Structures are given as C-alpha cells and as structure tokens.
Amino acid sequence: MSLRTEGLTKIYGKGQNEVIALNNATIAINKGEFVSIIGPSGSGKSTLLHLLSGIDHSTKGKVFIDEKDLYALNEKELSAFRRRSFGFIFQQFNLVPILTAEENISMPVLLDRKQPDNEYLTELSELLGIKDRLTHLPHELSGGQQQRVAIARALIAKPDIIFADEPTGNLDSKSGSEVMKLLISTSKQLGKTLIVITHDEKIARLADRQFSITDGYIQEVK
C-alpha cells in the first residue's frame, strides 16, 4: 500500500490555549519503503503516526491509503481496515502476561474471528529468532525477545503497513540494534511498508527516506 497526506494539521485547544501539534504536513510514502520520522520529544512525531494510522483524526487535511480516503470511513469500517491493513509496534511491549508468546502473537487474528496461519507464524518466529520461545510467558523472556514477539504480533495479520513508535525505546543499545535490524530485514523480506517514529539518529539513518519534524513542521531530509 502507498500512503500520502494532504495538508495534514492537528490543533489541540482553542484561543490562548491553542497548540498546533502538526502543521500542514504533506508527504508521500511508496509501497515497500522504510521511512523514518525523527524529532525531539513534543515535536509532533506521535501525533503524526496517530493521524496516518487513523487512531486519531486531523483538524484539517486528509490521509490517503492507495487513494482511499482514510477519514471518509465510518468508525466500524475504519476499525476493520486498521486491524487488517496496519500493524503497530510501540515502545511498551504490551504483551498479555498470562498468555504465551504464541498466543500473544496470534491475538490480532483471533480478535478478527479468524485462525492464525500456522505456517506463516512459524516463518515469522524463525525470521525473528523466537521459534524456541513460543511456549514461554512474557516474564520468561528478555526485553529484546518480548519486542520480537510484539513485532511478530504486528505482522501476523499480514498487514501492508507497519507503524513503529520508538520500537527500541525500552531496550539497551545492543538489544535495540538487534531488534531494529530484525524489524527492517523482516519487513523487507515480506514486502511491507515500514514507518518508524524515533528520536535516535542512528535508527533514522537506516531508512530508505528520512523525515524530520520540529514544532509540528515536517520536511524530508536530503
């Protein structure tokens, strides 16, 4: 799936309390690209991710996924589209503590009232190096292993676009580097579009294209 925006703007509050979190952002991302969006805390990175993925709605502007107007969908349609077309990875692993790694990975598919593709689950676990950890509970896994499980969970429904918000933020530098390399290589092998929000310049520079956001304004880094 390709993604593009037109004049995407998000404003919180009114009058003297008005805050422009995102200001007239217009970007285009091609199918299969790895794009990084870098900026300091409070710059508007997470706001942009929430708007691109339909988690939140813009004050002005539009988001198009393969020329489909995301904001034209009603809440039920948007929820189903997001569940089937997007995968999400966050700084917090958000694994269910009483479920095994395999059960955590399968959850998005089961919530859509489908059965996981076991062959694909095995492929993902092999690519991410967690095949021998599928029966373990989250507390029995290292932080890096938990984030690998979270990546597999994001990919299990075979989404077209992966959104990752500071995916290595809770990991030490070594684990973070390993997880990031796995995320990039796995998304490339599976032909997924990868959009990573980060404040880490080393991670940002790994991308096919890099955008910088400051005080709500976004521009491509040449």
Residue 151 confidence (pLDDT) above 90:
yes
pLDDT in tens, 63-106: 999 989 999 999 999 998 998 899 999 989 999 999 999 999 99
> Domains plus CATH for the chain?
3-221 (3.40.50.300)
Distance CA 125, CA 127 (A): 6
* Token pair in block for residue 46: 């997470």
pLDDT reported for residue 222: 83
Name the amino acid, one letter, at 172: D
Over range 18-22, report the average pLDDT: 92
pLDDT tens digits, 101-110: 999 999 999 9
Nearest to 130 by CA among 115, 117, 116, 141: 141
How crowded is residue 107: how many other Cβ atoms within 10 Å of its Cβ? 17
Q: pTM for the whole thing?
A: 0.92
Q: Percentage of the chain surpassing pLDDT 70?
A: 100
Q: Is the dihedral of CA 37, 209, 161, 141 positive or negative?
A: negative
- DSSP-derived secondary structure for 57-117: --SEEEEEETTEEGGGS-HHHHHHHHHHHEEEEESS----TTS-HHHHHHHHHHHTT----
- Residue 208 is predicted with a pLDDT of 96
Paired with 193 in beta bridges are 161
